[in-house]
Amino acid sequence: MIAVNAISMRYGSKVLFEDVTTTFSAGRRYGLTGPNGAGKSTFMKLLTGELQPQKGSVVRPVKLGVLRQDQFAFDAFRVIDTVIMGNPRLWGALEERERLYAKPEMTDDDGMRLGELEGIVGDEDGYSAESDAAILLQGLDIPEELHERPMSELQGGQKVRVLLAQALFGQPQALLLDEPTNHLDLESIHWLRQFLIRYEGSLIVISHDRHFLNDVCTHTADIDYQTIITYTGGYDEMVLAKTQIRSRVESENAQREKKIAQLNDFIARFGAGTRASQTTSRRKEVERLQTTDLARSNIQRPYIRFNMNRPSGRTVIEAAGVSKAHGDLHVVSNFSAVVSRGEKIVLVGRNGQGKTTLLRALLADAPGLPAAPGDVDAGKVRWGHEVSIGYFAQDQTGAIDKGMTAVEWLHQFDPDASRQEIHGLLGQMLFSGEEGLKPTDALSGGETARLLFCRIMLQKPNVLVLDEPTNHLDLEAINALNVALQKFEGTVLLVTHDQDLMEEVGTRVWHFADGRIEDFKGTYEEYAATLA
């Protein structure tokens, strides 16, 4: 159990939360929700002890599993050792035991201490630690051949998965996970979901994956109105309950205000006359009927709508024999497909199977995009009549030029657009007022993603090629993107690990596995049913 007592945090004039008291009980799994900037990561750091509250206190269990955010902190250690470090008591005992055994001669005190250490190792299941760690790593798609390698040799996404295994190791009494599904493919997400559902301690998780929160969480702790309110159920149940409570209070306030107006009218008309006693009673009733103050919600919902300047021809892409290798590794081999106008294709499969490679090969000589002949080795790709492409790359490095404002950067993609139109589009994506003048050098990951969507909406393409577009978006923005893609009348190629997007947007599936690409003409749910 984790107990939070009367904590407050503010930065300057911005209040994140004020006088919050709540308990996270064992056996319950809590989703910690709220828009970007609401204070989710700050609250998580208070729970882990990385930050101290400006007021109040936190009581936490001794064994705490925490997903570390520093990918480079363990570069000098073996992968398997990094996982075992998730149990500090065990790891400390193993290290001290190794030092004692390395001494040329041991004293009697050393022998006594070794006995104590062996007791700790036994209590903490240390004799099966490496095999237990290996099981976690394999579930998170870290193959056995990497377990003995130093962390410095792993790629960024692999390091994140090792750190997740570290948090899960050693049967912690509470788990604190900040964005655990980032860099995980769908199979790893499914494995993690099942692991967490079986977990018996207190779980607190921040995630922008609505499907994951709905599946895993028994409760939702929502940061809003400068406080934290806990609701029963997953994310969708929280939204429904929160909306109903807000609507009920607003309705009650409207009825009270109407009654107060009637009473004040009576008081104004008869306050100085023969009905003084009646007006006195009505004044007391007005005081009793004062409306409930409604705090302003932190939630901001972007508005995404993809319009087209003109539709494309009936056939959008014809690919024949497309291949691409990285050195000796043949990532895409002899891929052929025909894509028709209006199809929405989701590209799914484990990380490293070639989804991004295929998109880049298809776009190597696409209309309106810079030519990249090195992205395809063989085959032909023919884009159809009147095709115009809006591309959202997974790697956004260099996607937005530095040294200008957000308004200036966006305006260059349609010089004929009015300033009012540009600011309106930025406002839709939550760049309100002066935020449109923010330097592009200072944009966060979420702001960069939202500005790239502004560009796509301004260009009005008829084909959207989106490679992991949700990585830096909060839940409200992901939901807005989901709705926009469903309503879009053009063609979509979408790489995502967000299961709601797959199920609700896709009409066709390209599944990547074992060097093959399976082309399934149907929804993701229909495809998943064929695997059951």
For residue 268, the model assigns a pLDDT of 75
- Write the Ramachandran bin of 12: left for phi over 0, alpha for psi from -120 to 50, otherwise beta: left
For residue 221, the model assigns a pLDDT of 94
For residue 249, the model assigns a pLDDT of 65
* Cα(120)–Cα(117) distance, integer angstroms: 5
Inter-axis angle of helices 129-139 and 156-168, to 10 degrees? 130
How buried is residue 288: exposed, middle or buried, by Cβ count under 10 Å (0-12/13-18/19+)?
exposed
Percent of residues in the chain assigned helix, strand, coil, to nearest 5: 40, 25, 35
The backbone torsions φ and ψ at residue 272, rounded to the nearest 5 degrees and listed phi first, read -105, 5
* Cα(6)–Cα(228) distance, integer angstroms: 11
* Cα(104)–Cα(95) distance, integer angstroms: 17
Task: Give the CB-side neighbour count of residue 81, counting CA atoms within 13 A.
Answer: 14
For residue 68, the model assigns a pLDDT of 83
* Cα(214)–Cα(276) distance, integer angstroms: 58
**Domain ranges for the chain:** 239-288, 315-401+459-531
User: Closest by alpha carbon to 361, among 322, 395, 399, 419?
Assistant: 322
Decide if domain 315-401+459-531 falls under CATH 3.40.50.12780: no
Q: pLDDT per position in the chain (532 positions), as tens?
A: 899 999 999 888 788 888 999 999 999 999 999 877 778 889 999 999 999 999 999 999 988 999 887 778 899 999 999 999 999 999 999 999 999 888 888 888 888 999 999 999 999 999 999 999 999 999 888 999 999 999 999 887 788 889 999 999 988 999 999 888 877 888 888 888 998 999 999 999 999 888 999 999 999 999 887 788 899 999 889 888 887 766 666 666 677 777 777 777 777 776 666 666 677 777 777 667 665 555 556 667 889 999 999 999 999 999 999 999 988 888 999 999 999 999 999 999 988 889 999 999 999 999 999 999 999 999 999 999 999 999 999 887 778 888 899 999 999 999 888 888 899 999 999 888 788 888 888 888 888 999 999 999 999 999 999 999 988 888 888 999 999 999 999 999 999 989 899 999 999 999 998 889 999 999 999 998 888 6
Pairing of strands 329-340, 315-326: antiparallel
Global confidence as pTM: 0.75
CA 246 to chain centre: 26
For residue 255, the model assigns a pLDDT of 72
User: Closest by alpha carbon to 478, among 502, 513, 443?
Assistant: 502
Helix (H) or strand (E) holding 524: helix 524-531
For residue 387, the model assigns a pLDDT of 96
User: What DSSP line would sit under 92-124, residue for residue?
Assistant: HHHHHHHHHHHSSS--HHHHHHHHHHHHHHHHT
Could you tell me the two tokens for 106?
């041991």
